[in-house]
Each structure stands twice: as C-alpha cells, then as structure tokens.
Amino acid sequence: MDTAFDCLVNSYIENKVGLAEGFITEILAAHLRANLLAFHSGKQMKAAGIGNNAKFIENKQVRSDKIYWLDREHNDVHENSFFDLMDEFVKYLNRTCYAGITSYEFHYALYEKGSFYKRHLDQFKDNSSRAFSMIMYLNVDWKEGDGGELCVYHPSENQIINPINRKCVFFKSSELEHEVLVSHQQRMSITGWLKRS
C-alpha cells in the first residue's frame, strides 16, 4: 500500500491536492458500495447538513446529499477493513510528514440525480480539529456527462476531478474551497477527515 500512499502524498506536496488511483481494492470498494446501497434502500441514510453542534442546519440550496457514518461499533467486516487501511495511512502520514493526526471520521455519501454541494471549506469556524479531507469514490463506469465532479478552487485556476471508482482525493481541510458539481447519475463515495486533538 505504500505505493498508493506515496502517490497520494507526493501529488499533495506538488499541487496541494493529493490524487491516487486504486487507493482501495476493487473488492473492498464493491463491498462498501453494497453497504451504502443497502443503507439507502433501508432508508437509513440521512439528509446531510452544514455547520456543527448547535449551528447544524439542513439547507438543500447549499447541500443535497445523504450520508451515513461509518463506525467500528457496527462490527461490519468491510467497514473495519476500511478503518484498518486508514490506520495504516495515518501511521504513514505521521511517520513521513509529522502530521500529528490522532483520529478520523468518515461517512458514506450519496448524491442522487440533481444533487450537489455548493462551494465550501471543510473546517468549521469554531473547531480547527479537521486537518485533512479525504474522499474515496465508489462509482463504477463513471463517464463524461454523469456529473458529480469535484471542483477545487486554487488561487489561479479551478481543478476538476472526476469521481472514478477507487480514486482517492486528499487535501488540507482549512485551505481549499471546493464543491461537488450537479450529479446527473447516482454518485457514491466515502468522505471524511483526518483530525488533530
């Protein structure tokens, strides 16, 4: 896995956005996708909101995806395999970059046709614990025109990232504004944050 980790971190150092194809295995991606779809069909995914704690609100003019948090307490073998991978990546990041990551949080994210997430920053105004944002896509056979691309706003230009299955995106949570463009097909991912205490 160090090759994928190296690819992610080296591209982050070069461009402030790390990209790695095939970051999670085909088998794990398939199981996580099946989990997401099962939660969706069971109506367990909830409308995502903006803000945190008392400032949390739902605003479908800003964000219209649905989410479900991953948790080791679910005792799901595939979620735990994903967490094992994240544990290894955190160890790698702390060892090679002295990142000081102490925890993380991840959720499944589902964008139905017509869903989007307007331009935003991932770090809360009153809580700076989110250090890095990570997205791992679960979209098989994504093609041009399906929408749901990630648009990252750099000072001089915008970067468009296609949500292709098993691709991982990595960037500093406090640094880059970004948005999810309108999805024209169902768009699936696992999204989360590496945190410092």
What is the arithmetic mean of pLDDT over 129-150? 96
- Per-residue tokens: 44: 């367990």
Position 190: which residue type?
I
- Per-residue tokens: 121: 């920053």
Domain ranges of the chain: 2-195
**Higher per-residue confidence, 193 vs 63:** 193
Do 195 and 101 touch, CB atoms closer than 8 A?
Answer: yes
CATH architecture of 2-195: Sandwich (2.60)
Do 36 and 108 touch, CB atoms closer than 8 A?
Answer: yes
Please tell me the predicted confidence (pLDDT) of residue 61.
67
Please tell me the predicted confidence (pLDDT) of residue 10.
96
- pLDDT tens figures, 73-102: 999 999 999 999 999 999 999 999 999 999
Please tell me the predicted confidence (pLDDT) of residue 22.
96
- pLDDT tens figures, 18-73: 999 999 999 999 999 999 999 999 999 998 866 555 544 556 668 889 999 999 99
